[in-house]
Structure 1
Amino acid sequence: MTATRPSALCALGDAATILLASALGMVVEIVAGRLLAPHVGMSLYTWTAIIAVVLGGFSLGHWWGGRLAGAECDRQMGHRRLGWLLCGCAAATLLAVPALRLAAPWLEGEGVHPLAAILGLSLAAFFLPSLLVGTVSPIVTKLAVEEASPGQVGPVLGRLFAVSALGAIAGTLAAGFLFVAWLGSTATMLACAGLYGLLAAGHAGAALAWARRRAALPAAAAAGLAALLLPAGLARLPAFASPCEAESAYFCIRGVDLAEAVGQPARLMVLDHLAHGANVRDEPTLFVQPYLHLVDEVMAARGLPERPAAFFLGGGAFTLPRAWAADHPGGRFTVAELDPAVAAAARRDFWLEDSPALTVLAADGRPALQALPAAAQFDLVFADAFHDIAMPVHLATREWHRAVRARLRPGGAYAANVMEDKRQPRFLLALARTLALDFPVVEVWVEMAEAPGRRVTYLLLASDAPTPFGRIAARRGPERRWARLPPEFVAARIATAGVPVLTDDFAPVDRLMSHLILSAEGSGR
């Protein structure tokens, strides 16, 4: 290094570059999951693909960056190359959102395997930004090591590696806890592009300064200002328009108008890519979705008390709690909805009204219920929560079932909505087997109308007493009929399926449902 250059300033610039580049790389990775969710959901397979693609980009970028950090790469050349590479990071991050939306119609079409769609979308949008940001650290590290005094190479490497890890941690926390919830995924990507551009401008200015050009500071300032203003201007273009009406840390929330289909004002709530309740404005007890209608009818057939008490895990559009609050104003209904934005959307756009009978908890359902005294207090506990199309693992285990039974009144029921395969419902059978260990009666209900395709919505009901009828016809609303599968048939299927008992220690929900999740219909396409 030239003696006239301030080594402390160089060291600070190196650390700042690696810190910010690592942070932005992780922000893009976290936001990738939110951007893919409206297309392919948020599942184990989605995150596996994203992590693999991003790590693949980082790895190839590190290799390429090492090649660029050759023997001829002095401080001036290093700044110049970093300026161009970071400019590429800004462009690739800026184009990730439109690239994803351009690729989606092709990869979500008929005949495309869901895994291919997930991997293809991840590659189309997030491989190039990861590759380009991966080139940064080898170049910066090489420059810092060459300028280190004898005996200081180890401390310099340790300092840069530590700064890189701190940047990755900061980016992960900022994306997960702040940016997505406050800015939204698209705006976060635009902000990352602007910061990459600002960093590129800084290195371009540094390259000019090392070349002793007087325009270094004004040029860097102008380029930095342009890098910050350009994404803000592009945010207004249709290509960057968010598909979400509201976006939280958990979901992309949209509403679909069903007035034409229902014949009166009605809306369907879509979270990411799945429907989570449909409400009719003027008839709270009119059920558009058959599975919610079934819960209402089967509990009526079992004989609800005049003032029932129920605990709902998952709110969505609050369809059933809204109906029961209208039907039973003297009842007590508690809804655990993890995402406050979902509850706010239900009030704002789906006609959910505050009621003395209705209590909404912004909490995960399992700890919320387990925090209540283990005493008989509910006539129904209803699990209507999903992680993509699968039930969350912690709501499928024997430990959870014991907590539920301890809080049910005599004759009360635990009901769980399960989307499964028509031919091989392995998760459904595992869940039924697990419930049977703690409940004397386990029933499987289905709609009698033949469902198209392979996906079926089952209702699992567990209690200390059976439902008095094996078939139920709707008392109100659309004409629908449901049947309870013969208990001996269910028992025989469980015996031959070889499915495990689900516990907190071992509950392979994704594996048991992989045959459906990885089908075109199971993926929602």
Structure 2
Amino acid sequence: MPIAPLWLLVALQATVSAASMVVEIVAGRMLAPYVGMSLYTWTSVIAVVLAGFSAGHWWGGRLADRPGINPMSATGWALAAAAATTALAGVALRVSAGPVLTAFPQPVWGITGLTLAAFFLPSLFAGIPAPLLTQVSLAGPSRQGQALGAMFASGAIGAILGTLLAGFVFISWLGSVWTLAIVTLAYIAGATLCFWLAKQLRAMQSVTLLGLAALAIATSLSPGPCTVESRYFCLQSVDVSADTSRPTRAMVIDHLVHGISAEDAPEVMFTDHTAMLDALTQLRTQTADPSSFLIGGGNYALPRAFAERGITKTTVAEIDPAVTALAARDFWFDPETAHILHQDARRALLGDQTRYDVIIGDAFTDTAVPQHLVTREFFDLVQSRLLPDGSYLMNVVDYADRMQAVGSLVRTLREVFPVVEVWTEARRPEPGERVVMVIAAGTAETRRNSFTVPAPERTTFAVLGAGFVDQIAAAGVYLTDDYAPIDRLVGPRD
């Protein structure tokens, strides 16, 4: 007599597969506050999870061949282990983050090490049931080919369902921590079913499963790193006030500070890139109330400063409504002072025929660069949305002794704009230092070749020499929608 009907085995395999894929999607989100969300993050997550699945399948196959083993009981213990390691994944991530990132400062190795520490074991144990359940299905009355096909299909369908649930339902409605708790409970339910089918649901198994359920609830109640976890980012509002009577806060998106604002100093920029973008906007526009289009809102420091000066024609394309809401709640930004579009900037510009005095690109963040916002085709679109004497400004971060990303951007922008300048702090950078720069493109040079503004200390910024810019541009890569390896250009040093 078969241990379980085929339909039940298929449903169980689909559930395990769906749960494991939910964990894979959540892994990328949970890593973001520590290492950001980039090509390197997703590459590490996919590689580590697949490695865990592979090792689990191999182990499950060895168990299936072991004489005298009850495959349903073995599956139950594997799911119990998957529940335990999934419930503790967030704890493992927090505990290992400091030591791993200190031991492996090179981003690729650091990201891979963190992923291994937190998410290899959940994937390993989730991979064990597949060969065990398949063995059970082959012992039933169904034809072996039919049983094999059904088990393989259920795994694929479960993976699809888990991916859709994670991306469209669980993370956006429950957040990462509660999503892992739901997965843990799903594993516990599966383990309970397996022990029951194996007729081994005894005191030890029951106590173990109840303990795991309590662990899942306890870990879900522990606070995570995010002030707000949106569909796109982990957002943190951090108090950095030196004086409690003068509130100052930083907005951290994933693992990077995207802006700092003080309640009583709306026109003071607290980061180099916003200080340069603000000053260059004033230097390169000819009217008292210039029209502007901002790519990325961040903590809305620039729109807030513009409004303070009486600038009334500001449009912001910020893809994440939660960013705007947090800026309004914690960073003293009044949403009524700007026209806000909660959509991708390229899509927003395509649907907007307005021509602006200045377009500001402030979506360039560490190793996570939107590739579609750095190409010749995008710069053509930007140029078509500028007034004849308008300017395009964008911030960029690059290694001072490499300048591959800046050179590539300059080379590409020169195909669209007759004048392209590179601005940075007027000092000699340290060897290997990552330097914040702003590129200014348009039809005319900036009226001055240096300026001093608070950032928040008085800081002087200057334009790089034309000969040096020519040199780095000559070595740059021409960026197009078909080929824009910007992650590699700004990524870890060799």
1:160–1:502 CA distance, 2 compared to 1 (3 A): same
Does the 8 Å CA contact 2:369/2:487 hold for their aligned counterparts?
Answer: no
Kindly indicate whether residue 21 of structure 2 is the aligned counterpart of residue 31 of structure 1: no
Structure 2 distance, partners of 1:79, 1:222, is: 18
Kindly indicate whether residue 261 of structure 2 is the aligned counterpart of residue 282 of structure 1: no
Q: Which of 471, 474, 480 does residue 453 from structure 2 map onto?
A: 474
Q: Which residue number corresponds to residue 273 of structure 1?
A: 255
1:258 CA displacement = 2.2
Please list every run of 5 or more consecutive structure 1 residues that lacks an aligned counterpart in the other structure. 519-525
Q: Which of 137, 161, 170 does residue 144 from structure 1 map onto?
A: 137
C-alpha deviations, 1:324-358, integer Å up to 9, x for none? 022124x2111111111111111111111132x40
1:181–1:465 CA distance, 2 compared to 1 (3 A): same
Structure 2 distance, partners of 1:476, 1:48, is: 36
Q: Which residue number corresponds to residue 366 of structure 1?
A: 346
Kindly indicate whether residue 490 of structure 2 is the aligned counterpart of residue 505 of structure 1: no
1:478 CA displacement = 3.9
Does the 8 Å CA contact 1:198/1:223 hold for their aligned counterparts?
Answer: no
Does the 8 Å CA contact 1:401/1:435 hold for their aligned counterparts?
Answer: yes
Q: Which residue number corresponds to residue 67 of structure 1?
A: 62
Structure 1 distance, partners of 2:270, 2:407, is: 27
Structure 2 distance, partners of 1:388, 1:166, is: 36
C-alpha deviations, 1:257-282, integer Å up to 9, x for none? 12207982111100111011111112
C-alpha deviations, 1:280-325, integer Å up to 9, x for none? 1122111111221112212222244122111111111011011102
Residue 225 of structure 2: SS of its match in structure 1? coil
Aligned length: 493
Does the 8 Å CA contact 1:43/1:388 hold for their aligned counterparts?
Answer: no
1:464 CA displacement = 1.2
Aligned CA-pair RMSD: 2.4
Residue 394 of structure 1: SS of its match in structure 2? helix
Kindly indicate whether residue 94 of structure 2 is the aligned counterpart of residue 101 of structure 1: yes
Q: Which residue number corresponds to residue 171 of structure 2?
A: 180
Structure 1 distance, partners of 2:267, 2:195, is: 64
Does the 8 Å CA contact 1:205/1:220 hold for their aligned counterparts?
Answer: no
Alignment of 1:43-62 (within 5 A): 43-62=38-57
1:159 CA displacement = 1.4
C-alpha deviations, 1:380-406, integer Å up to 9, x for none? 111111354343110110000000000
Moved more, 263-272 or 52-61: 263-272
Alignment of 1:192-271 (within 5 A): 192-208=183-199, 228-236=213-221, 240-260=222-242, 264-271=246-253
Moved more, 185-194 or 261-270: 261-270
Kindly indicate whether residue 367 of structure 2 is the aligned counterpart of residue 389 of structure 1: yes
Does the 8 Å CA contact 1:245/1:254 hold for their aligned counterparts?
Answer: yes
Q: Which residue number corresponds to residue 339 of structure 1?
A: 320
1:71 CA displacement = 6.6
1:468 CA displacement = 1.6
Does the 8 Å CA contact 2:414/2:420 hold for their aligned counterparts?
Answer: yes
- Which residue identity lines up with residue 31 of structure 2 in the other structure? L
Q: Which of 415, 424, 435 does residue 413 from structure 2 map onto?
A: 435
Structure 2 distance, partners of 1:118, 1:257, is: 27
Kindly indicate whether residue 383 of structure 2 is the aligned counterpart of residue 405 of structure 1: yes
- Which residue identity lines up with residue 24 of structure 2 in the other structure? E
Report sequence identity in percent: 41
Structure 2 distance, partners of 1:315, 1:17, is: 44
1:424 CA displacement = 0.9
- Normalising by structure 2, we get a TM-score of 0.94
Structure 1 distance, partners of 2:206, 2:491, is: 53
- Which residue identity lines up with residue 341 of structure 1 in the other structure? A
C-alpha deviations, 1:48-99, integer Å up to 9, x for none? 111111111111111111111127467xx12211111111111111121111
- Normalising by structure 1, we get a TM-score of 0.89
Q: Which residue number corresponds to residue 289 of structure 2?
A: 307
- Which residue identity lines up with residue 467 of structure 1 in the other structure? T
Residue 11 of structure 2: SS of its match in structure 1? helix
Kindly indicate whether residue 308 of structure 2 is the aligned counterpart of residue 326 of structure 1: yes
